[in-house]
């Protein structure tokens, strides 16, 4: 697809690209010893959650080019990925079948109500079936059931996602010593590692779920062969608060204070844990003094509704 066709697609969806890059000075002890900036991907679009657009961009362009009119994807009842994807499908006149973990038919979340309104077909599955979402035999059955459809993995994390995420780095106005991102399914971190061949930044992921070892494997699996040996990245596992979407009063208070100090909206599932980690790592002087640090705000604020 030509550059002008891509711009047309972004305009049709109402995306504002590039997203702003903003200096913040939070009231944290030690913060003045560093330069801290935020890449505001939460501002790309009011519905298409920041990093989800980055991951979906080339998947959707590819679908448009091939005339694909039916997509299938997976998620939980609050999934930012399905929310972003369903909105794109609605705007682009593509059918979406959403495979949902659990049966919420009598108890729809705000996210599910939105995607139903945008025309998504919902397929409730139990946990055991959902566990099989990446198994070749299960995917084969889906392909049989929906022969015209393209299957997108949970979270949109796949090799095709990396180039879109890498564009976050090429948009930056300056070089950073560290780029920090929350980590869920690893696609965003993998894309930032993929990008940093053009820069000297170290990439630090903050795990938002319990997954020491497992998350590193996911990220390595997503990287192209020649990039699997890269060593300028790590995942910190100290700030998941007990697991995915788990939180306590301390995290809730932190999110409220941080938003008040900086004017940045945050939620406790992803960005809240990342900024909390950043505060503590800065207090511990985990970065060399004077480092320039960029935190990627990945969006996801619709999750605040539930
Ligand atoms: C999905 C999501 C993430 C996690 O990204 P991965 O590529 O799955 O690691 C981070 N932040 C927000 C807001 C998200 O919606």
The answer, yes or no, to whether residue 93 has pLDDT greater than 80, is yes
Least confident of 32-36, 170-174, 235-239, 302-306: 302-306
Which residue's C-alpha comes closest to atom 4 of ligand 1? 184
Å from CA of 111 to ligand 1 middle: 16
What would the DSSP string read from start to end of the chain? --HHHHHHHHHHHT--SSPPEEEE--S-TTGGGSEEEEEEGGGS-SSS-HHHHHHHHHHHHHHHHHT--EEEEEE-TT-HHHHHHHHHHHHHT-EEEEEEES--TTS--HHHHHHHHTT-EEEEE-HHHHHTTT-HHHHHHHHHHSTTPEE--GGG-SGGGHHHHHHHHHT-SS--SEEEEEESSSHHHHHHHHHTTSS--EEEEEESSS-TTHHHHHHHHHS-GGGTT--SEEEE-S-STTSTT---HHHHHHHHHHHHHH-----TTTHHHHHHHHHHHHHTT-S-TT-EEEEEE---GGGGG-
What is the predicted pLDDT for the residue at 268? 97
- 185 Cβ inside 6 Å of ligand 1: yes
Residue-wise pLDDT for 149-169, tens only, equals 999 999 999 999 999 999 999
Longest dimension (CA), the chain: 58
Q: Which atom of ligand 1 is nearest to the CA of 190?
A: 7
91 token code pair: 């705007």
Cβ burial, residue 304 (10 Å; 0-12/13-18/19+): middle
- 76 Cβ inside 6 Å of ligand 1: no
- 183 Cβ inside 6 Å of ligand 1: yes
Which residue's C-alpha comes closest to atom 8 of ligand 1? 185
Question: Cα–Cα distance between 96 and 90 in angstroms, integer?
Answer: 8
Q: Which atom of ligand 1 is nearest to the CA of 42?
A: 13
In this structure, the number of other CB atoms found within 10 A of the CB of residue 173 comes to 9
Least confident of 18-32, 93-107, 198-212: 198-212
- 157 Cβ inside 6 Å of ligand 1: yes
Question: Cα–Cα distance between 206 and 235 in angstroms, integer?
Answer: 6
Mean pLDDT of the chain: 96
What are the C-alpha distances in Å from 214 to residues 139, 183, 208? 22, 12, 13
- 181 Cβ inside 6 Å of ligand 1: no
What are the C-alpha distances in Å from 134 to residues 74, 140, 275, 283? 10, 10, 31, 40
Å from CA of 181 to ligand 1 middle: 9
Å from CA of 28 to ligand 1 middle: 25
The answer, yes or no, to whether residue 79 has pLDDT greater than 90, is yes
What share of the chain has pLDDT > 70, as a percent? 99
- 186 Cβ inside 6 Å of ligand 1: yes
Residue-wise pLDDT for 7-62, tens only, equals 999 999 999 999 999 999 999 999 999 999 999 999 999 999 999 999 999 999 99
- 75 Cβ inside 6 Å of ligand 1: no
- 299 Cβ inside 6 Å of ligand 1: yes
- 184 Cβ inside 6 Å of ligand 1: yes
Å from CA of 208 to ligand 1 middle: 9
Residue-wise pLDDT for 111-164, tens only, equals 999 999 999 999 999 999 999 999 999 999 999 999 999 999 999 999 999 999
284 token code pair: 């511990």
Å from CA of 93 to ligand 1 middle: 25
What share of the chain has pLDDT > 90, as a percent? 94
- 77 Cβ inside 6 Å of ligand 1: no
- 155 Cβ inside 6 Å of ligand 1: yes
- Band (303; pLDDT cuts 50, 70, 90): confident
């Amino acid at each position: 697809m030509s550059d002008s066709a891509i711009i047309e697609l972004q305009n049709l969806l109402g995306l504002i690209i590039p997203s702003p890059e903003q200096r913040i000075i939070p009231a944290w002890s030690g913060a003045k010893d560093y330069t801290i900036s935020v890449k505001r991907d939460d501002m790309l679009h009011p519905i298409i959650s920041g990093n989800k657009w980055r991951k979906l961009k080339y998947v959707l362009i590819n679908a448009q080019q091939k005339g694909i009119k039916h997509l299938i994807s997976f998620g939980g009842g609050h999934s930012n990925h399905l929310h972003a994807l369903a909105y794109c499908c609605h705007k682009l006149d593509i059918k979406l079948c959403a495979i949902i973990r659990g049966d919420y038919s009598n108890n729809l979340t705000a996210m599910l109500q939105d995607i139903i309104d945008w025309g998504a077909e919902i397929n409730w599955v139990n946990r055991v079936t959902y566990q099989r979402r990446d198994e070749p035999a299960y995917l084969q059955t889906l392909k049989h059931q929906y022969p015209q459809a393209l299957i997108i993995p949970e979270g949109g994390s796949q090799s095709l996602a990396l180039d879109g995420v890498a564009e976050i780095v090429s948009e930056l106005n300056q070089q950073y010593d560290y780029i920090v991102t929350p980590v869920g399914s690893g696609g965003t971190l993998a894309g930032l590692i993929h990008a940093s061949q053009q820069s000297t930044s170290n990439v630090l992921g903050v795990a938002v779920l319990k997954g020491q070892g497992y998350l590193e494997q996911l990220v390595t699996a997503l990287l192209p062969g020649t990039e699997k040996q890269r060593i300028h990245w790590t995942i910190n596992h100290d700030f998941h608060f007990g697991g995915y979407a788990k939180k306590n009063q301390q995290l809730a208070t932190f999110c409220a204070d941080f938003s008040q100090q900086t004017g940045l909206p945050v939620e406790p599932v992803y960005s809240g844990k990342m900024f909390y980690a950043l505060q503590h790592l800065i207090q511990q002087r985990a970065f060399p003094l004077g480092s320039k640090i960029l935190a990627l705000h990945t969006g996801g604020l619709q999750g605040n509704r539930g």
